[in-house]
Structure 1
């Protein structure tokens, strides 16, 4: 759940509709955020020309395994076109075998070329309600490199064997040609599983997903089960706020990606070269503070139970559990990237995963994945890491850190804008709310369920997890600011 933020400066937005909806024809779109944050508009002409040239060339097959016989499928949000991953889960003697194909973006990007330079500048795809700003031109990310169904595509193919406990016992990664047989979406997969008619390629996904979730708790992975605050089209040219709970099939699907990233990290560490996604372990006093907060909220947390197990046992839909999950975000501070090229680095762990981890599964949408894949391919084939990768490693933490901060700004600004639009006509009304945070005794942050809004609230006697009645005192679309007071 993303907390609402206030963006400095005016936006030039005209006024909110009486209904609280926003309509682009009245100027109530997200163009002000794009301009304010200086987001890219178009791809450079040279980069676009380079894409057309590389796409026109045949994908080299000599160094690739023909894996087009594998019935891989993609599982993404409805309507997605930038399809990074395709999966196949099978049973084998002794456990399971996972085939995981990742779009091979490096097959289309010339190191040091115009496209490479622009992708390094962008860092990652930025998602706004009225349209994405892609890391790569859509000719590549939504077409030639995307693992679209019934199309032969260049891929980095991971094959991971698991035992009956869901632990990896064999890892293989190589370049391949693949062909997805179906494009599935989360809602459809969840529905098919409920009806007992899943696609054969992923009928074992729940079985493997549950095993991997159990392993996550055993590793001490600190996972926050918070619903996601989103802005979506209302179907009539405007926007609305929704609170989207994470489907269980999304969690299972994510476990395949996390498994691959952990395998990639182990390969990098064994070779002494690569780039890891790291989050430091929380300090003991931070965990103790969270435990005290849980106790105040009436949430039982046994002394000998680590945070991973305690959080896994809470349903964040309950107000007091929601407050604990929000408070638990303090356990996952200090996220960054660690590049290394001469032995293992000092920082290797990702506290949210409970293991070392590397990004390798979303190269269409994230810059670092392309380089990480090249490191793993080199390690797997027992050859040297390409020079262009070695030269870029040192600069990746800074580039990815900057793009992560920008992505966070974009998300917060869009949600804050939508919150202000949705409530602009309702100043003075009262709402039922849950108190999420109380950094001091006279102000806090509350969650209102309808519409799903997170905003600051003034008043005395606020306590985390408390159910309160609040009054809306400000909803300013110009400043993207919403504020409540205790009624």
Structure 2
């Protein structure tokens, strides 16, 4: 763990730079309060007897999903309850307009800018434990190999019986005392993950930098390791999104999360990275299978993951109404896919969910949903771009804070990408990704680098390759 040093560091300049608006308009707040007594959506199935549980990071209050997995005679049944924002947000009202403007929740180290007012996102719409909540309940039957056989989606009332976190669930599984509602999650998660590489899904296990408060206005920077339980839990969300996508494709109306297949240049670039990093690529093996077989703890694997990001360029949203969608698949998932499982934190999920609810019930998709479909790809593109820039700015700032005063120090690093006289490196301690100058930067290898810049005002960190006596032997 690495901590900044200095008084009163915060992210107010980043909020100002990106004109991040924290307060909601008064009219939107009024509508949110009114919605507490006027939950929309019509009749609901009483699913409160289902022992659903949520699994989120510790302290989370905006709880989008609750899960229960049961064994069937020949397979499994997955219950997945999703927060029902369609029941709270009045179409074309002041709150709806503000949510469209925001697009998604933005997470900064010193606070969250929620998509919806906290009275909804952390209160009445959140699937908090021991509270009856309106939800959209997915019931998905899987065969014994984990393939979906049937998917039903309907509005329901649910009651989560426990708020779990990744660490505690992982510990309980290792101790042999898992919560009964998720005892089958590892079994189903493993089956679904095994299918992912087979269908061509691309997963990049790059180090995830995490910023946390350390007290007295300071911040820590560390690498966050993804646990098995997170990966298995993510498979349930992916499964639901894949089922939702197929429902909308069959109905010829909806909005998909799409990513075109990688072009030849991107695949050739990955081949070159494999050669440079001395990673063996068996003849005929797909990029997905190759990447799935890499050891994420190896330095050459990090270089391969960075090179493989080119395979995932061009992600967006495809809306369609009455016609076949121009693009149906998501190359990163290896199948058609839609966002429907995080409506508290992402705008598009509410509209895709309404499409699924209507078409599976044999009803027309509401006019307000159809009217919004054409604008959703642009709204989400703008929002995604802003979220990425804000996240990168916050990480750049903390990296500069952590390394301030250490210019001239030498660090161990892994070369992630190499170009003419420059490249990108990952320094493990402290966990920093930054530019590095030098004529000899062998991709996938460990080298020594010297810190040449740590500018806290411009949020810029850079290194140069260091040749010490031990490097020249």
Q: Is the TM-score greater than 0.5?
A: yes
Report the equivalent of 1:83. 63
Distance 2:324 2:15 in 1: 40
**Contact 1:102–1:361 under 8 Å retained in 2:** yes
Matches within 5 A, 1:312-351: 312-351=292-331
Which of 431, 443, 446 is the matching residue for 1:464? 443
Runs of at least 5 residues in structure 1 that lack an aligned partner in the other structure: 1-18
Matches within 5 A, 1:389-468: 389-438=369-418, 440-468=419-447
Deviations along 1:144-165, one digit per CA (max 9) or x if unpaired, are 0000000000000000000011
Give the superposition deviation at 1:288: 2.6
Report the equivalent of 1:54. 35
Q: Secondary structure at the match of 1:320?
A: helix
Give the superposition deviation at 1:93: 1.3
Task: Calculate the aligned-residue CA RMSD, in Å.
Answer: 1.2
Q: Secondary structure at the match of 1:350?
A: coil
Give the superposition deviation at 1:236: 4.2
Structure 1 range deviating more: 220-229 or 170-179: 220-229
**Contact 1:269–1:343 under 8 Å retained in 2:** no
Distance 2:207 2:430 in 1: 14
Report the equivalent of 1:247. 227
Runs of at least 5 residues in structure 2 that lack an aligned partner in the other structure: 467-473
Q: Secondary structure at the match of 1:286?
A: helix
Is 1:257 the counterpart of 2:257? The answer is no
Deviations along 1:220-247, one digit per CA (max 9) or x if unpaired, are 1011122211211124431011111111
**Contact 1:459–1:485 under 8 Å retained in 2:** yes
Is 1:21 the counterpart of 2:4? The answer is yes
Distance 1:418 1:246 in 2: 21
Distance 1:90 1:75 in 2: 17
Distance 1:227 1:371 in 2: 33
Instruction: Evaluate the alpha carbon distance shift between residue 283 and residue 222 of structure 1 in structure 2; reply closer, same or farther with a 3 A threshold.
Output: same
**Contact 1:125–1:135 under 8 Å retained in 2:** yes
Instruction: Evaluate the alpha carbon distance shift between residue 395 and residue 249 of structure 1 in structure 2; reply closer, same or farther with a 3 A threshold.
Output: same
| Greater relative contact order (Cα < 8 A, sep 6+) | 1
TM-score where L is the length of structure 2: 0.97
Matches within 5 A, 1:41-440: 41-57=22-38, 59=39, 63-438=43-418, 440=419
Report the equivalent of 1:479. 458
Distance 1:228 1:416 in 2: 14
Q: Secondary structure at the match of 1:80?
A: coil
Give the total of aligned pairs. 465
TM-score where L is the length of structure 1: 0.94
Q: Secondary structure at the match of 1:355?
A: coil
Deviations along 1:83-109, one digit per CA (max 9) or x if unpaired, are 000000000011000000000011111
Instruction: Evaluate the alpha carbon distance shift between residue 429 and residue 473 of structure 1 in structure 2; reply closer, same or farther with a 3 A threshold.
Output: same
**Contact 1:81–1:146 under 8 Å retained in 2:** yes
Give the superposition deviation at 1:56: 2.9
**Contact 1:443–1:458 under 8 Å retained in 2:** yes
Give the superposition deviation at 1:217: 1.1
Deviations along 1:54-73, one digit per CA (max 9) or x if unpaired, are 1133x468610000000000
User: Which 4+ stretches in 1 moved above 2 angstroms?
Assistant: 59-62
